[in-house]
Amino acid sequence: MRKIIFCLLLLFGALKTYSQDKDYFSTEFDANYYYYFVGNNNSNNLNYGFSLLVSKNIQKLKFSTGINYSIKSYNSQGDPFYSIEKRKYNFEYLNIPIIANIEIFSHKKFRSSILTGFTFNHIIDYDITSFYLNGETLTENNLLDNRKLGVIFMLGATFSKSIGNKCLLNLSPFINYKLIPDHDNQRPDYKNIPDDKISIGFRIGIEYLFKTTDNKS
């Protein structure tokens, strides 16, 4: 973690050194939705997240980092042998995204860009709730024995609309591919974390631009 923070400080220091007067910083708060491909016998619940990002804008490039909190939840088929109707899996993640937007189109108040980067993700909570056929439930908490730091590659697009001269409304569809799993593999068991490689989603956010009023969007 210290190495990551040190690299981020070096990155933003370099950007500040080579920036011009019309380049600027910005900050963004966004809400996220995710859909995970967790197998044929599983179904997604509502998966969401929130991010706070700080960005350095240089010409047609925007470099961003910050912190993201997300929820991953899905249901699996039960086990009739144990009179279980279904199981509900819940994960909480703390993520550090490092991403770049490359502008490819701009016209008046609208612009679009390619979105790419990496996300370092870490499970901070994991529990399973079993629903029995007789109506009883059982929740198993703190199932974190095989977790580790994972890395995800992100690719997508961002569509932005200017709101006045200081704000942007951003909408970003994206696809995530898991490069390094966030857990160690174990022998087969219902408590195991699924090896889902791909997820899709979108985020919507409001970005505030710290720039002088003569820099038009």
- What is the DSSP pairing of strand 137-140 with strand 110-132? antiparallel
Q: How much is the pLDDT for 63?
A: 96
Work out the number of other CB atoms within 10 angstroms of the CB of residue 90.
17
Q: How much is the pLDDT for 96?
A: 97
Q: How much is the pLDDT for 6?
A: 54
Q: How much is the pLDDT for 79?
A: 83
Q: Tell me which residue of 173, 71, 177 sits closest to 118, measured CA to CA.
A: 177
CA distance 12 to 173: 26
Token digits of residue 175: 């696809």
| Per-residue three-class SS string for 38-57 | CCCCEEECCCEEEEEEEEEE
Q: Tell me which residue of 126, 128, 101 sits closest to 116, measured CA to CA.
A: 101
Divide the 217 residues of the chain into consecutive groups of 10 and give the mean pLDDT of each group. Answer: 53 49 86 91 93 94 96 90 91 96 92 96 94 92 86 97 93 96 81 87 95 55
Q: How much is the pLDDT for 165?
A: 86
Q: How much is the pLDDT for 10?
A: 54
Q: How much is the pLDDT for 59?
A: 87
Q: How much is the pLDDT for 215?
A: 46
Report whether CATH 2.60.40 matches the domain 31-172+181-210.
no
